[in-house]
Amino acid sequence: MTRRTLSQHAMSRSPVLSARKPEGTGPRAAAILTRLVSSRGVTWGGCTIMLIALMALLAPWVAPRDPYASTLLARLSPPAWGGGSAGYLLGSDELGRDVLSRVIFGTRISLLVGLFSVIGAGIVGLTLGVVAGFYGGVADRIIMLFTDTMMAFPLVLLALAIVALLGPSLRNLVIVFIITSWVLYARMSRGATLELREREFVAASRALGASDLRLLVRHVVPNVLGPLLIVASFGIAQIITTEAALGFLGLGVPPPVPSWGNMLADGREYVDTAWWISVFPGLALMITAAAFNFFGNGVRDLTDPRLRNVV
C-alpha cells in the first residue's frame, strides 16, 4: 500500500476508525434523539429547500412588484409595520425598489448559481475521481497531481482573479465555482471508487464478462453518488454564501439584477438608517444556506456513519 498524505487519508477513509461499525453507543434514548434530530434536519431542510425552489420558479407570480421598477420618490421607506406603506411590505431600497420582490427574485440567482456550479463540479469531479480510482497507475498519478495543484491554489484569490478579469456575470460565476470546487468531488469519488473496487461484486461482474464502462456506470457510480450528494448539499450552501461575498466585493452578478449578494452590498451603506435593505436578504441567505447545511448534515448522520470523519 503506498504512503498517502494526511489529506488523502481524510478524504477517503478514516484510519482512526476500526473496521467494524460502533455498537451500543450510549443510552438508547440519546440514540433515538439523535436520529430524530438528524431526520428532522432532513425533513426541515428538505422542505425549506423545496419551498425556496418553488419561490424561485413562481417568482413572477409570487412577488408583489417588479424587482427592477424604481421609484425615486419612494426610496428608503421602512417596512409596512414600521411606518412604511403596504405597497412595500418589507420596505424599499435606495432606488425605491421593493425589497420583498427583490428577495423573492433573489432565490433564482442563488439557486441557479448554486445548482449549476455543483452539478458542473460534480460531473467533472466524479468523472476524474472515478477514473483515477478505478484505473489507478499513471492516470491516477496525473489526476492526483492535478488535484494537488488545485488544492494548493488559494481558491478565493483564484475566484477573485477570474471574476475580476472575465467580468462579472452569471455564467462566469458558475465557471469560477466549478473550477474551485470540483477537487472535493474528485477526491471523494476516488476514495469511494478505491474502496468499491475491492468488493466481490466487481470481481464477479468482471468474471461474467462485463466491460469496464458497464461496471462503472452500473455499479460504481450509483454507490458513489450517495456521499457526493451530501458534499453537494454543503457545497451549495457554501457557494451561495461565497456568491454573496463576491457581490460584496463588487464581483458578483452585475447590478441591477436582484441577487442577495448585491442587495447586501447595497445595504451595507444603510445598515443603521435603513436596516431592512440588508437584514432581509441576509436572513434569506442564512435560511437557505442553513437549509442545505441541515439537509446534508441530516442525510450524513442517517446514512453512512463512516462518513462522519470525512471533511
Partner 1 sequence: MNVQARKPRRSGVIGRRTLFKSALLVGSGALLARPWIAPRRARAASAYQSEQLVVGISTDPVILDTRQSQNTTGVSQIDHILEPLALLNPDNGKLVGVLAESWEPTSSGWRLHLRHGVKFHNGQELAAEDVKYTLDSIVDPANVKWVQPTIRGKMQRLVSVQVQDRYTCTLDTGGFSRAFLSTLTQLGIVPASAAAQGASFAQHPIGTGPYRYVEFVSGSHLTVEANPDYWQKGLPKTRRLTFRILPENQTRLAALESGEVSYIDNVPPDAIARIKGRADLDVMTETTSRFMHIQLLNDHKPFDNRNVRLAVNYAIDKYGIWRGIMGGLGEITTAPWPSSMLGFNNQLKPFPYDPSRAKRLLDEAGVSSVHIKYGGPDGRYLNDKQVSEAVITQLQAVGITADVDIREFGAFFQNVFAHKYDAFLLGYSYAGLDPDNAREFWSSKSSLADYKNPDVDRLFAQGDATSNLTEAADIYRRLAAIVWNDVPYAWMYYQPNISGVSRRLRGWAPRKDELIYFTGAWLA
Partner 2 sequence: MKGGSLLWRLLHAAIVLCGVLTVVFLLLRLTPGDPVLLMVSPDAPRSAVVALRHALGFDQPLPVQFADYFAHLLRGDLGTSLRQHRPVSTLILSRLPATFELAGSGMLLAVIVAVPLGVFGAIRRGSMMDVLTRTLALLAQSLPTFWMGILLIIVFAVHWRVLPTSGRGTVAQLVLPSVTLSFTMIGLLAQVTRTALLEVLDADYMRTGRAKGLSNAIVLLRHGLRNALIPVITLVGLQIGTLLGGAIITESVFSWPGIGLLAINAIDQRDYPLVQGVVALAGVVFVVINFLVDMSYTYLDPRVRYT
Contact 298/39 with Cβ under 8 angstroms? yes
Report the nearest approach of partner 1 to the CB of residue 168 (Å).
Answer: 6
Pick from 75, 136, 194, 304: which binds partner 1 (CB under 8 A)? Answer: 75
Total length of the chain: 311
193: phi > 0 → left, psi -120 to 50 → alpha, else beta; which? alpha
Q: Residue 305 CA to chain centroid, in angstroms?
A: 21
Contact 90/283 with Cβ under 8 angstroms? no
Contact 109/170 with Cβ under 8 angstroms? yes
120, interface contact from partner 1, partner 2, none, CB < 5-8 Å by kind: none
CA within 13 Å, CB half, 104 = 21
Which region, judged by CB under 8 A, interacts with partner 1, from 39-47, 57-65, 90-98, 176-184? 90-98
Binding to partner 1, residues 172-201 (CB under 8 A):
none
Pick from 99, 228, 285, 299: which binds partner 2 (CB under 8 A)? Answer: 285
Amino acid letter, 68: Y
Using alpha carbons, list the distances in angstroms from residue 309 to 20, 56, 146, 249, 300: 15, 34, 24, 34, 11
Cell 464581483, located at residue: 251
Pick from 148, 250, 275, 279: which binds partner 1 (CB under 8 A)? Answer: 250
Binding to partner 1, residues 274-303 (CB under 8 A):
274
Binding residues for partner 2, rule: CB under 8 A, are: 1, 3-7, 9-10, 14-18, 22, 25-27, 29-31, 33-34, 37, 145, 148-149, 151-158, 160-162, 164-166, 237, 241-242, 244-245, 248-249, 264, 268, 271-272, 278, 282, 285-290, 293-294, 297, 308-309, 311
Binding residues for partner 1, rule: CB under 8 A, are: 68-70, 72-73, 75-76, 94-96, 164, 167-168, 250-251, 254-256, 266, 268-274
